[in-house]
Chain A
Amino acid sequence: EDQVTQSPEALRLQEGESSSLNCSYTVSGLRGLFWYRQDPGKGPEFLFTLYSAGEEKEKERLKATLTKKESFLHITAPKPEDSATYLCAVQADTGGFKTIFGAGTRLFVKA
């Protein structure tokens, strides 16, 4: 069964304290892995797509990496405005249209 597990559930950081969020997945064949940011009371906002193991993408303080079993979202020197829930999702290449989401990691960055 296709599955996405994110850890930790919540992460509290001081401003400037770098860390990583984990997304472990099992899928029959990976078409793409997505990272989203979600602010309270809003819809998820797309950040990155990764397609193959070894791929990396960066945006400001965020860097996403992908292996055959997991993805990491590295946050370098976070600021309070990076506080949000970060969602990971995978899309399988089995010919269907479904995307499977993890439960998310809630990130709190304190000034």
Chain B
Amino acid sequence: DVKVTQSSRYLVKRTGEKVFLECVQDMDHENMFWYRQDPGLGLRLIYFSYDVKMKEKGDIPEGYSVSREKKERFSLILESASTNQTSMYLCASSLRPGEQNTEAFFGQGTRLTVV
């Protein structure tokens, strides 16, 4: 089974702190994604990566950056946490489009609270 593991289930950080969310997948997937999920807004794409050291902005990249130094690991960075970044963060991975079975596999989520 595909496994996507996020480093923390729950995090509480202070405004202005630099926050790192880590994600590791074990299925050799090319694509990795970071979403945030808020009530009534659904999943919104922050950043995605289709290869090592490659990244693309999603729909809401402001205030975030990412790093992908190894194929299996994709990190989300909040440069200076703000209260409006309190949310559920979900990491996902998938095979490259053009292949069958391009569904995304998600981690368990990180509930981040910024105080």
A pairs with B: yes
Contact partners of A101 in chain B: CB under 8 A:
35, 42-43
A98 B102 Cβ-Cβ under 8 A: no
Bound-state CA distance A44–B97 (Å) is: 20
B42–A34 touching, CB < 8 Å: no
Interface residues on A, range: 20 to 34
Contact A41 B111 (CB under 8 A): yes
Interface set, chain B 51-102, CB cutoff 8 A to A: 56, 58, 90, 92, 96-97, 101-102
Q: A44-B90, A44-B106 are in contact. Are A98 and B42 (CB under 8 A)?
A: no
A95–B50 Cα distance when bound, in Å, is: 12
A103 contacts chain B at the CB level, 8 A cutoff:
yes
CA distance A109 to B52 in the complex (A): 43
- Kindly state the separation between the CA atoms of A95 and B109 in the bound complex, as whole angstroms: 28
* Cβ-defined contact, A97 with B43, below 8 A: no
A42, B109: Cβ atoms closer than 8 Å: yes
Contact between A98 and B109 (Cβ–Cβ < 8 Å)? no
Q: Among the interface residues A43, A95, A98, which one has the most CB atoms of the partner chain B within 10 A? A: A43
**Residue pair B97, A43 in contact (C-beta under 8 Å):** no
Q: List 7 other contacts, CB 8 Å, given A43-B109, A89-B43, A103-B42.
A: A31-B102, A32-B102, A44-B43, A87-B43, A95-B97, A97-B31, A97-B50
Instruction: Please name 21 pairs of A and B residues whose Cβ atoms are closer than 8 Å in the assembled complex, sorted by A.
Output: A34-B103, A42-B109, A43-B4, A43-B92, A43-B106, A43-B108, A43-B109, A44-B43, A44-B90, A89-B43, A89-B104, A91-B102, A97-B48, A97-B96, A98-B45, A98-B48, A99-B33, A99-B45, A101-B35, A102-B42, A103-B42
